[in-house]
């Protein structure tokens, strides 16, 4: 018989003939879909492979500073250029109804990001939320402790002044007891700076009006000058924009509009003389990994492209247009505003 097996046209086919035919065949995808990462691998641009270094000179000093800020949040004020943000207002007192009331408490906490697998509870992992639920559970009159937070930070991200809230029906519990319990849970990794009883309707997430972040990048990690990065960021403050390009793992239908009210960068020196770039970013809300993607993309565009390139990344509304997120160990949440 003259029958012979037809050569495989896929990348896993054996033989030079099959690979040659596969290479010559036009690649097609459905309308509206981008080529796969495999299809793009052969012709990646410098922007596609660019990423900030996660180690090297300066990073140990940054880690040490953010670890110190867990118990001493004021050490970051020289980089933020402002005093501590306005926190939750204390509860005014009983309304005189005579009924048993649910007591809600707000706690201002700091934590070392590298000691946890993120804020959100995860089975079998040490997380900030999991530790708080376990610690505050004894104050919740035998009920499940429900913890709300202003900023649900990712793995490795620290906080000097994040805000959480919980409630209890135990009338004997006061703010001092909650503060003592948290401070005893994980010394040096988790600290409570302030605890107050707040109105019942207070919610750490939905009552927050502004969130403050600080990113510290060693100057040795980039060759872009602060002025070039500043030009990339200067168009953002005061505008409500679609930050879809700078979000990661966004659920379908999630709103991606955010209003950034402060976004600046300046060169500074740490106590040991390490030169760093300090990013102060403030807004009403942030998407997952948005701050780290914003920092990395602004630095990348300042190095490789030119003025106004960050705006084109936002216009793409595609996360593949952004840079790989900046290392988590350079980011800290430094405060939350409540009220006007």
Please state the three-class secondary structure of 46-80 as a single string. HHHHCCCCCCCCCHHHHHHHHHHCCCCHHHHHHHH
**Cα angle, residue 202 at apex, residues 170 and 87 outer, rounded to 5°:** 110
| DSSP assignment string, 282-306 | EES---TTHHHHHHHHHHHHHHHS-
Q: Catalytic residue at 170?
A: no
| DSSP assignment string, 153-173 | PPTT-EEEEEEEEEEES-TT-
In which residue are the tokens 């050569």 written?
7
Give the total residue count for the chain. 340
Nearest to 62 by CA among 217, 250, 228, 249: 217
Nearest to 127 by CA among 115, 117, 136: 117
Contacts within 8 Å (CB) and 24+ apart, 45-52: 46/304, 47/300, 47/304, 47/305, 47/323, 50/300, 50/303, 50/304, 50/323, 50/324, 51/296, 51/323, 51/324, 52/217, 52/221, 52/222, 52/296, 52/299, 52/323, 52/324, 52/326, 52/327
CA–CA distance, 193 with 179 (Å, rounded to integer): 8
Secondary structure (3-state) at 210: strand
Of 154, 242, 264, 318, which residue is the catalytic one? 154
| DSSP state letter for 174 | -
Dihedral pair phi/psi, residue 165, rounded to 5°: -140, 155
| Residue positions annotated with a catalytic role | 154
């Amino acid at each position: 018989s003259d029958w012979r097996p037809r050569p495989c046209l896929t990348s896993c086919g054996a033989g030079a003939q099959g690979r040659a035919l596969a290479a010559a065949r036009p690649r097609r995808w459905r309308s509206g879909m981008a080529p796969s990462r495999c299809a793009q691998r052969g012709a990646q641009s410098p922007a596609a492979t660019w990423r900030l270094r996660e180690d090297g000179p300066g990073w140990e000093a940054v880690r040490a500073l953010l670890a110190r800020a867990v118990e001493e949040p004021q050490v970051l004020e020289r980089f933020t250029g402002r005093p501590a943000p306005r926190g939750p207002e204390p509860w005014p007192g009983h309304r005189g109804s005579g009924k048993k009331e649910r007591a809600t408490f707000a706690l201002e906490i700091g934590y070392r990001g590298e000691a946890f697998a993120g804020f959100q509870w995860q089975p079998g992992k040490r997380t900030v939320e999991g530790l708080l639920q376990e610690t505050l559970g004894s104050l919740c009159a035998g009920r499940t402790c429900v913890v709300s937070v202003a900023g649900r930070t990712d793995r490795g991200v620290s906080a000097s002044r994040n805000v959480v809230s919980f409630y209890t029906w135990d009338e004997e519990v006061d703010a001092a007891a909650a503060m003592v319990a948290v401070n005893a849970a994980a010394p040096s990794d988790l600290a409570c700076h302030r605890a107050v009883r707040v109105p019942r309707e207070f919610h750490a997430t939905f009552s927050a009006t502004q969130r403050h972040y600080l990113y510290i990048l060693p100057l040795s990690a980039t060759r872009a000058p602060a002025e070039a990065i500043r030009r990339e960021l200067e168009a953002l403050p005061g505008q409500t924009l679609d930050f879809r390009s700078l979000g990661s793992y966004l659920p379908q239908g999630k709103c991606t509009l955010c209003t950034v009210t402060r976004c600046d960068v300046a060169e500074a020196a740490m106590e040991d003389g390490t030169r760093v770039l300090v990013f102060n970013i403030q807004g009403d809300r942030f998407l997952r990994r948005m701050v780290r993607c914003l920092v990395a993309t602004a630095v990348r565009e300042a190095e490789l492209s030119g003025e106004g390139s960050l705006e084109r990344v936002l216009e793409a509304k595609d996360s593949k247009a952004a840079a790989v997120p900046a290392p988590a160990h350079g980011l800290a949440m430094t405060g939350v505003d409540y009220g006007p």
